[in-house]
Amino acid sequence: MIERESPSVWLISGIPGSGKTTTARRLAARLPAAAHIEGDRLQEWVISGGVMPGEESQQEADRQLALCRAQQCRLADGYCQAGFVTVIDFVIVSRSQLGEYLAALSRWPIGLVVLAPDPRVALARDGARAEKRVAHHWAHLDPVMRRELAGPGLWIDNAALTPDETVDAILAGWDRALL
């Protein structure tokens, strides 16, 4: 039997409200040396001229999202080089977006986790948050993500799981998460 290396980079995806950030932080806290990169925070680095998906110039919004993914990868590569496991949380909707991560981080073992609760659960969680409420803009991505990303990685319906139970499921299924 061939021993497989555990992920050096974890990609945690799902629609807003699925628990990406909470799960990513808790996963990173359980690892001996880990960094957490919250993709949404990197988008906030653009102070003026930022265009969000759905706003005018979808082409510019797509370009800025690609830039954000590229910056996440640069940060992850630096942390991995320094000996840290890196946990990235961001909405990854398609195989082409996943391919950007795989190409940029090809020298590291990568694990993909897709948090896939029922969209109604994600919307309710998002509505209960004090800081950001955005799921109503993105819930339509759930069926797209399920169609486009079907197959690779570890898919978890965490609707009835606590954040710690979700991390337990990730750690128990790390080998299925490997890409």
| Paired strand residues for 113 | 12, 154
Rounded to the nearest angstrom, the gap between the alpha carbon of residue 117 and the centroid of all alpha carbons in its chain is 14
Residue 154 lies in a domain: yes
The C-alpha atoms of residue 56 and residue 1 are separated, in whole angstroms, by 53
Number of structural domains the chain divides into: 1
- Dist CA 67 CA 99 (whole Å): 14
Residue 45: give the domain boundaries. 9-177
Residue 44's CATH number: 3.40.50.300
Q: How many CB atoms lie within 10 A of CB 84?
A: 18
Distance (Å, rounded) from C-alpha 152 to C-alpha 135?
Answer: 24
Q: Give 112-170 pLDDT, tens digit per residue.
A: 999 999 888 777 777 666 666 555 556 678 888 889 888 889 999 999 999 999 999 99
pLDDT of residue 34: 97
- Mean pLDDT throughout 17-44? 93
Amino acid (one-letter) located at 95: R
pTM: 0.88
Does some domain include residue 2? no
Which pair of tokens denotes residue 88?
């990235």
Look up residue 34 and give its two tokens. 């880990």
Q: For 79-89, how does the pLDDT look when each residue is reduced to its tens digit (9 = 90+)?
A: 999 999 999 99
Amino acid at 96: S
Provide the pLDDT for residue 1: 40
Tens digits of residue pLDDT in 50-106: 776 666 777 888 888 899 999 999 999 999 999 999 999 999 999 999 999 999 999
- Confidence band of 2 (pLDDT split at 50, 70, 90): very low
